[in-house]
Chain A
Amino acid sequence: MILSQEEVNHIALLARLGLSNEEVERFREQLSNILENFAILQEVDTTDVPPTAQPIPLQNILRQDDVDSSLPCEEVMANAPRREGNYFRVKSVLGKS
């Protein structure tokens, strides 16, 4: 298999995705299988071929920095899992929560 258990755990950490032990093992197998299939790309000669990031020839779309109305605060905050006044409440980032 292409991926080790440590690598799966490392990727999950990068993605901040909690996984159960069972998920780690299942993804190790499934992702290894999928990645093995991607190996066929290595047979394509891409010397001097530029990458395509998106398919339309538009670049650097600029607009005037006009003052416009924003969404009503109450409607935006209505989806907040935890709030305090007009602030989103989060667990402490530094030190103990």
Chain B
Amino acid sequence: MELCQLTIHQAHELLKSREISSVELTKASLERISQVEEKVHAFVSISSPSISQAEASDEMIRKGEITLLTGIPVAIKDNMCTQGVRTTCSSRMLESFVPPYNATVVERLISAGMVMVGKTNMDEFAMGSSTENSAFSPTYNPWDVGRVPGGSSGGSASAVAVDEVIYALGSDTGGSIRQPAGFCSVVGLKPTYGRVSRYGLIAFASSLDQIGPLTKDVTDCAIVLNVIAGHDPRDATSVPYPVPDYTQSLLHNADTIPDLKGLRIGVPREYFVAGIQSGVDEVIRTAIGKLAELGAEVDWDVSLPHTSYALSVYYIIAPSEASANLARYDGVKYGFSYQEAGSMWDALEKTRQFGFGPEVKRRIMLGTYALSAGYYDAYYLKAQKVRTLIRREFDEAFSGSTTKKRFDALVTPTSPTVPFELGEKMDDPLQMYLSDVCTLPISIAGVPAISIPAGFVNGLPVGMQIIGKPFSEETLLRIAYAYEQATEWHKMRPLI
């Protein structure tokens, strides 16, 4: 096995026993990037200090100061601020922006001894489901380079799937970790809103944005979550709740496979109707059957009737918040600035006209309209009220207070389709928005969900989404891990 193919826990064992060094591991990662990057274009930039970070990690390891992430190459989505390293959000607006500080998650990874090999490509300002909205270049799906890797964290998902890095960070506003994880056959977790600090994450929609890991297996996901989760005084929306050791939920006897006895899993029927491809439907039903074989009690007759409103709720709330968050890009303090204008207003309008791409403009327009005088009640306030109803449905499914049907988790497809072709949905925004139809309700409710590899349809990956109540990441990881140990999907690699 090539070094770049290792998981975090495998690489850690070899680093700890000094069989390999972080410099060797990092060079293997850079070598892999030089082989495949031209085909997948997962990165916006490759960071030059990675070898010196690897040398520093080797020095730490020599001194016996090793954490599970020490010396391990990581890629970070290009919307998380990295001090002294260009952070573009894949936008012309921030093409030359060099942050003077680190995001909290980056600080935490630095403390754990990370080696950052680069910043990954994304849909501009995380707005999109295919990574085609990057101002620089699309990212390609390593399973079929004629298809999209999903988005907006398509660069992170693709880089992990193709072994350019051992793991990556992404961000998820309406599915931007889970959908690309599903499309690229890697593990992607959107933690509960508030579990991970967003300080230094360039804001898209503040009531929805959350950072999470993209990894090669579930164990790695737990390892990364352990490091990035927790309260941060710099993010008032991060919760002051204790952080469990997430790897503990994966423990089992070495001679047995983990089971799911005592767990109740619900299958909401609304996720299996409109627009789902029959191959995807079949793969997910088979995967759920596996969960039952592992001892889970599966109820196939669950209904979350407000699911069909989630798309509209999301595409009112997220653009509204985005229109406010992106008002800061005025060409004064940082970022692209149109200098040839006559007046201040002209400069402002032209800065935004030439700095933002089409999807970002579309969402700023949509959000501005939804918040404008005369339309606020009909759109924004209405969407917030329906948001309450969607959240209540999840609360009911996880508490069983009226229906007496209480579930530990709900299971759905991550996406209704396999990865689609490049350009297929670019002219029809609504069709593009529909590709997030299975992930949006979870974001609206602020609950956690994980996507794990569940199989293939004609060689194209299918992800299974496991949804839990707030702060139940341990349960999600336990279910995901049991399924992973009983299947081989996570071991498959694209031939590229």
Residue ranges of A at the interface with B (Cβ–Cβ < 8 Å): 3, 7-8, 11-12, 14-20, 23, 27, 30-31, 33-35, 37-38, 40-42, 44, 46, 49-56, 58, 61, 63, 71-72, 75-76, 78-82, 88, 90-93, 97
Contact = CB atoms under 8 A, between A and B. Distances in A.
A88 B385 CA distance: 42
Given A17-B365, A58-B194, A58-B239, A53 B384 contact: yes
Nearest to B348: A16
A97 B347 CA distance: 11
A64 to B, nearest CB: 10
A4 to B, nearest CB: 12
A42 B309 CA distance: 10
B309 A19 contact: no
Contacts of B344: 90-93, 97
A27 B332 contact: no
B322 to A, nearest CB: 11
Contact of A44 (B336, B347, B389): B389
Contact of B193 (A49, A56, A82): A56
Contact of B332 (A3, A51, A71, A90): A90
Q: Which A-B residue pairs are the 3 nearest by beta carbons?
A: A55-B446, A18-B353, A51-B384
B420 interface: no
Interface stretch (B97-105, B155-163, B475-483): B97-105
A55 B207 contact: yes
Contact of A54 (B237, B362, B447): B237
Given A44-B386, A56-B192, 8 more contacts: A14-B368, A16-B345, A34-B429, A44-B309, A52-B385, A54-B207, A55-B447, A88-B333
B11 interface: no
Interface in B307-343: 308-309, 311-313, 315-316, 323, 327, 330-337, 339, 341-343
Nearest to A89: B332
Contacts of A30: 362, 429
Main secondary structure of the interface of B (DSSP, over half): helix
Q: Which of A20, A56, A82, A93 has the most CB of B within 10 A?
A: A56
5 contacts: A11-B368, A16-B352, A19-B361, A46-B389, A50-B385
B355 to A, nearest CB: 10
A67 to B, nearest CB: 15
Contacts of A44: 306, 309, 382, 385-386, 389
Interface string B195-232: 00000000000110000000000000000000000000
A90 B98 CA distance: 21
Contact of A18 (B330, B352, B384): B352
Interface in B360-395: 361-362, 364-366, 368-369, 372, 378-379, 381-389, 391
A28 B37 CA distance: 38
B323 A15 contact: yes
B334 A79 contact: yes
A17 B352 contact: yes
B31 interface: no
Contacts of A18: 349-350, 352-354
A15 B332 contact: no
Contacts of B342: 97
Given A55-B446, A56-B239, A17 B382 contact: no
Contact of A49 (B378, B389, B445): B389
B430 A33 contact: yes
B365 A8 contact: yes
Contacts of B348: 16
Contacts of A81: 331-332, 334-337, 339
Contacts of A40: 308-309, 312
B341 to A, nearest CB: 7
Contacts of A3: 369
Residue of A17, A30, A31, A79 with most chain B CB atoms under a 10 A cut-off: A17
A51 B372 CA distance: 18
A52 B333 contact: no
